[in-house]
Structure 1
Amino acid sequence: MPRTSTSLIATGALTGLLAIGALATSAAGPAPEAGSEQDRSAQLAARIDPAEPKSVILLIGDGMDDSMITAARDYARGADGRFALDSLPFTGAMTTHGLKVGPGPDYPIAYVSDSAPTASGWSTGRKTVDGRLSQGPSTAATIPGEDYRTVLEQFQEAGKLTGDITTSEITDATPAAAAAHINARACKGPTDMASCLPAKKSNGGKGSIAEQLVDHEVDVLLGGGMSSYTQPTDAGGGETVLSYAQREHGYRVLQDERDLASVTSLEDGPVLGLFAPVNLTPMNDPLVATPPPGAGGATTECTPADRGDQPDLSTMTQKAIELLDNPEGFFLQAESAMIDKQEHATDICGAIGDLVELDEAVQVALDYQAEHPDTLIIVTGDHAHSTQIVGGSGDGKLTATLRTADGDPLTVAYSTSDTGSDHTGAQIRVAASGPQAANVTGVIDQTDLYATMLGRTPSTLPGPGQPQPLAPQAAVASAPTVSRGVLRRAGLPVSVAAAGATKVTVQLLNKGRVLASRKVGREGGDVRLRTRRTVTGQLVVKVVATGPGGSDVATRRVRITR
């Protein structure tokens, strides 16, 4: 998978920007070049914001640990490449253990957990047992525990809008934990309640997961899982959960990407997007690992899947943010679920494709944060998985090999069982940007995210002598020439690096006229500037970086050719 011309320009641009050195990257991004004496302490200090976040965007890669991130990065960007999720300034490690059922009050530790207790951990700030959603432990799996209030519910109580989106069934464990309380994750619809009899509405309970999600009136629900919503409720009369959601709560039902694009506000009621009977299609066709000599090889690359009219995660994230954006703030949880599910299937291409798509969603969130710095972004997983990068195709029970962006072979192995793969108990990455993001540093437990998302009591930064905000710095790179035809068709590739900025704007000018204007993230990025206007003479690419310490302008002249 060769690098694009834009990426090559970016590489050249950053190489030439040693004047701002590590300030062109985040604390979590690429390390300074060997021999560099640039210290990043002031940069980190400038990014610390103890204020309570107004909005929270929580992005979850199900089963996404550092090994899976590295494999996806190596394949899609190369060993020295970086994802958007690598650019968040504060990074830590997060433990994910849960509990086991028992007599209590001290429940045994479960060192390896599934997605139900892990998602419940950050949603409620408390531990629970496998299979259980935002409900405390108990003596047996079929005996309900105490309902715990979730972050999403508390944002609603504060009068804020909420969203919950996923690439799995919306009734699956991770999205369900945000707004449902039930003793078994399998109780997705009214006809799935054999393990959750006390929760049935006919028994005086809150109902199945599908019913609870709409009863909570989450403003934006997007994902798969239509099959749970076409089940009849236990109220009789043949009404389905879907028709109940429309009649009782005014949900507008969306079934494909065109429906999603057509919704422009929440004025006409909440939206329920159900884009597949069960899970959405992974981004890539599968490459399933096999016993040595393994699947794939030194020239194997992943093939994009035919996903029909299903929206991808970044599209759903963009639309959800658009609908939820308001002066009072919002909470949005967005999950890339198929990373985990394809890891279970030892499908490396499926897992890579959906991790890369998660990164696209992270960039969408960062673009929003650049205009709304009171937004906290957190990117993490729910638990680790057994995907491992190994030295060769014989180093595991099941292996697969791909050609990376570097042009070299990468082999991954799955060795937890003879077929398929499973979770592990390793700590995982957590990264954050925005108000109170510094609370994710060090080694934390996933339950600690609960208090951070709700907003911890703001602390006071050191007094006199504390580092002052850095004056913003900007730099820009592009090709020295561009033809009129390319400018009209594809646009001029431009790479921007910035530091100390909260807003970065890129403009293309000709004789004082603004031909095109784009906004990029606070640390820059790659864009294409295109115009259909008639241009003569020279073009000027102008970057303006504005932040707490002032503003900076960088320009680049580009000659027009025939």
Structure 2
Amino acid sequence: MQVKKRTVLAIGALASVVAAGTVAATAAIPDPVEQGFTKERSAELAAQVDPSKPRNVILIIGDGMDDSMITAARNYEYGAGGRFPALDALPFTGAMTTYGLKVGAGPDYPIAYVSDSAPTASGWSTGKKTVDGRISQGPSTAAAVPGTNYETVLEKFQAQGKRVGNVSTAEITDATPAAAASHISQRACQSTTNAAATCPSETKGQGGPGSISEQLVDHQIDVLLGGGKDRFTTPIDANPATTTLAYAQQQHGYRLVENTAQLAAVTSLDQGPVLGLFNGGNMTPMYQPLVASAAGAGGPTTRCEEADRGAQPDLSLMTEKAIALLDNDKGFFLQTESAMIDKQEHASDICGAIGDLKELDETVAVALSYQEANPDTLIIVTGDHAHSTQIIAGNADDGVQRATVQTADGDPMSVAYSTNAVGSDHTGTQIRVAASGPQAANVTGVIDQTDLFLTMLGRTPSVLPGPGEPGDPDPLKPAVSVVAGASRISLADLRRRGLPVAVAASGGTTVTVRLLKGSRTLASKKVGASGGTVRLKTRKASKGTVRVVATVTGAGGSATRSDTVRVTKR
């Protein structure tokens, strides 16, 4: 049978995903030893392309997670022919550049080919490049001179009325989680004490936004979970007799949880936002350390040993709870970070890094489970920068520091660290990015981490091809996206002018747009097969929340997406 060639037309930045050899994508990968890559997967991948805007976004970060570290952890846990059950099953995969800028006169700043976590996390958070040490704030003439604050994805979603969450196995004030919802010139300004010493002009006492810990709670993030309690127990400027933690509880109504049992007891956000601080500093990694040395640590039969983490929850448990608390009709944004990959790589601790990468895979599985029931959820998994962990032959002269462990294959695997005489550091190589869900195809090819900003916010939906030719046994699955032209509208405007609505659709023959109050239809219109714009007018509405629902139906089935609007008296 002749296979029809189908193309995907890109509007905005949606990548073409059907040309053979141009898609770095993986489906549910069979065991390469037993089965090999014998299945032609173009149709399988095409069926997973969804150009609609996501309602929910879950961004999962492996700090310092590059392909070398992924491979080392995979070899250890599953063997050379194995695959991570969740991370390696994401359908769309690409490569991502991570360079930053250096301070200077501007407006053209010198390139920093190797960056730290502050500018890299700021890159996807704001869509803009910045300099080392800077948190969601633009470059400037010198490190001590604050730049321009850039609005973040989390802040944009929060302004839309979506719930927001921030989870990390590091101190929650560390650079990667800090970039989601704070703006400061020095990443070290994590507490009021740090800020007074390191960035005094940005303290609240000097009219600034305050330290990272203060800014995180001032943003009233719905769910904050991680380590770093010590960053919240320092006295604040305005009242030295109280602390940031007391301020968070008294002024913003945060509920403090400090262990797994207390976290489990929180079942909703009705009583206020949640601040989970499970350790004074960074949280404890899954495995006990195995630190590389010049003489070589470990050996051919060395296996990593479980660490005692006491009552601390792991990343997958924190993420599962965060999703459950954030889940709502309007949608949510969640950033969750497996931070100790990077921390333990800096320490040349191969077991610690492997354990946190395994935790990341378990966290991806949690997100995919939620996505299965909520397909309008975009999941993106990536790192912030590369590191110097390298799998080597294991010779005595390989690397400055070496360690050897026994993998799931039963064979020895040696790794080396060569950037520092003791410990290791970042590198400037590109890293993996993978995704699943609406607009996930945007991560394919080679992108920059700033591109994630628009993908998470939702780009202008692409127009996919319609259903196949008559008699096609495998028509395309319909897809639809709908956006209301306003987040609120008065009863008078809804009656006279109507609510403007934009719809993009593909793969169908019939597209219907309805205005609903509960299950009651207030207005309904049809648009063309590829979508269009309409105004929904009604005299049946009353004050409160209504939903705009678009449904596309075709030979390949149907798809529905919705948006919410607040109807006011005036």
Q: String of CA shifts for 1:303-330, please: whole Å, max 9, x gaps.
A: 0000000010000001000100111110
1:237, 1:304 → 2: CA distance? 41
Q: Which residue of 1 aligns with 2:110?
A: 108
- Counterpart of 1:406 (choices 406, 409, 416) is 409
Per the alignment, do residues 28 and 147 of structure 1 end up closer, same or farther by CA in structure 2, a change over 3 Å counting? farther
Q: Which amino acid aligns with 1:54?
A: R
- Counterpart of 2:338 (choices 312, 336, 339) is 336
Q: Give the conservation status (yes or no) of the 8 Å contact 1:393–1:399.
A: no
1:79-228 equivalence runs, <5 A: 79-83=80-84, 84-193=86-195, 194-228=197-231
Secondary structure at 1:247's aligned position in 2? helix
1:338, 1:35 → 2: CA distance? 33
Q: Give the conservation status (yes or no) of the 8 Å contact 2:90–2:436.
A: yes
Q: Which residue of 1 aligns with 2:475?
A: 468
Q: Which amino acid aligns with 1:141?
A: A
Q: Structure 1: 5+ residue runs without aligned partners?
A: 1-24, 472-547, 551-562
Q: Which amino acid aligns with 1:468?
A: P
Q: String of CA shifts for 1:70-95, please: whole Å, max 9, x gaps.
A: 00000001111111101000000000
Secondary structure at 1:334's aligned position in 2? strand
1:219, 1:67 → 2: CA distance? 35
1:56-455 equivalence runs, <5 A: 56-83=57-84, 84-193=86-195, 194-292=197-295, 294-394=296-396, 395-455=398-458
1:417, 1:339 → 2: CA distance? 17
Secondary structure at 2:119's aligned position in 1? helix
Q: Give the conservation status (yes or no) of the 8 Å contact 1:116–1:132.
A: yes
Q: Which amino acid aligns with 1:417?
A: N
Aligned residues: 451
1:464, 1:71 → 2: CA distance? 43
Secondary structure at 2:47's aligned position in 1? helix
Q: Which amino acid aligns with 2:364?
A: V
1:471-550 equivalence runs, <5 A: none
Secondary structure at 1:351's aligned position in 2? helix
1:256, 1:393 → 2: CA distance? 44
Secondary structure at 2:264's aligned position in 1? helix
Q: Give the conservation status (yes or no) of the 8 Å contact 2:468–2:476.
A: no
Q: Give the conservation status (yes or no) of the 8 Å contact 2:255–2:272.
A: yes
2:31, 2:81 → 1: CA distance? 10
1:27 partnered with 2:34: no
Q: Give the conservation status (yes or no) of the 8 Å contact 1:404–1:410.
A: yes
1:72, 1:168 → 2: CA distance? 20
1:199, 1:71 → 2: CA distance? 42
Secondary structure at 1:56's aligned position in 2? strand
Q: Give the conservation status (yes or no) of the 8 Å contact 2:467–2:476.
A: no
Secondary structure at 1:426's aligned position in 2? coil
2:417, 2:457 → 1: CA distance? 38
Q: Give the conservation status (yes or no) of the 8 Å contact 1:29–1:89.
A: no
2:87, 2:193 → 1: CA distance? 39
Q: Give the conservation status (yes or no) of the 8 Å contact 1:102–1:139.
A: yes
Q: Give the conservation status (yes or no) of the 8 Å contact 1:220–1:270.
A: yes
Q: Which amino acid aligns with 1:29?
A: I
1:35, 1:288 → 2: CA distance? 36
1:31, 1:158 → 2: CA distance? 43
Q: Give the conservation status (yes or no) of the 8 Å contact 1:28–1:90.
A: no
1:198, 1:419 → 2: CA distance? 35
Q: Which residue of 1 aligns with 2:490?
A: none
Q: Which amino acid aligns with 1:218?
A: I
Cα shift at 1:29: 3.1
2:94, 2:37 → 1: CA distance? 24
Q: Which amino acid aligns with 2:450?
A: T
Q: Which amino acid aligns with 2:385?
A: H
Cα shift at 1:337: 0.5
Cα shift at 1:28: 6.8
Q: String of CA shifts for 1:249-298, please: whole Å, max 9, x gaps.
A: 00000111111011000000000000001100111100000113x11111
Q: String of CA shifts for 1:118-159, please: whole Å, max 9, x gaps.
A: 000000000000000000000000111000000000010000
Q: Give the conservation status (yes or no) of the 8 Å contact 1:28–1:87.
A: yes
Q: String of CA shifts for 1:472-514, please: whole Å, max 9, x gaps.
A: xxxxxxxxxxxxxxxxxxxxxxxxxxxxxxxxxxxxxxxxxxx
Cα shift at 1:403: 0.5
Q: Which amino acid aligns with 2:376?
A: D
Q: String of CA shifts for 1:416-463, please: whole Å, max 9, x gaps.
A: 111100000000000000000000000000000000000001010123
Cα shift at 1:35: 7.5
Q: Give the conservation status (yes or no) of the 8 Å contact 2:130–2:139.
A: yes
Secondary structure at 1:146's aligned position in 2? coil
1:285, 1:464 → 2: CA distance? 54
2:114, 2:36 → 1: CA distance? 41
1:35, 1:153 → 2: CA distance? 45
Q: Could you tell me the TM-score, scaled by structure 2's length? A: 0.77
Per the alignment, do residues 125 and 305 of structure 1 end up closer, same or farther by CA in structure 2, a change over 3 Å counting? same
Q: String of CA shifts for 1:42-96, please: whole Å, max 9, x gaps.
A: 1111000000000000000000000000000000011111111010000000000
1:291, 1:253 → 2: CA distance? 44
Q: String of CA shifts for 1:206-236, please: whole Å, max 9, x gaps.
A: 0000000000000000001111100000112
1:141, 1:441 → 2: CA distance? 34
1:468, 1:86 → 2: CA distance? 28
Q: Could you tell me the TM-score, scaled by structure 1's length? A: 0.78
Q: Which amino acid aligns with 1:285?
A: Q
Secondary structure at 1:153's aligned position in 2? helix
Q: Which amino acid aligns with 1:333?
A: Q
Cα shift at 1:469: 4.1
Q: Which residue of 1 aligns with 2:515?
A: none
Q: Which amino acid aligns with 2:227?
A: G
Q: Which residue of 2 aligns with 1:44?
A: 45
Aligned-residue RMSD, C-alpha: 1.9
2:254, 2:395 → 1: CA distance? 50
Q: Which amino acid aligns with 2:226?
A: G
Q: Give the conservation status (yes or no) of the 8 Å contact 1:62–1:383.
A: yes
1:244, 1:441 → 2: CA distance? 44
Secondary structure at 1:234's aligned position in 2? coil
Secondary structure at 1:277's aligned position in 2? coil
Q: Which amino acid aligns with 1:324?
A: L
Q: Structure 2: 5+ residue runs without aligned partners?
A: 1-24, 479-554, 558-570
1:289, 1:237 → 2: CA distance? 44
Q: Which amino acid aligns with 2:191?
A: G
Q: Which amino acid aligns with 2:444?
A: T
Secondary structure at 1:349's aligned position in 2? helix
Secondary structure at 1:188's aligned position in 2? coil
Secondary structure at 1:314's aligned position in 2? helix
2:99, 2:145 → 1: CA distance? 21
Secondary structure at 1:221's aligned position in 2? strand
Per the alignment, do residues 205 and 434 of structure 1 end up closer, same or farther by CA in structure 2, a change over 3 Å counting? same
Q: Which amino acid aligns with 1:246?
A: Q
Cα shift at 1:37: 5.1
2:374, 2:61 → 1: CA distance? 21
Cα shift at 1:199: 1.0
1:94, 1:35 → 2: CA distance? 27
2:372, 2:300 → 1: CA distance? 40
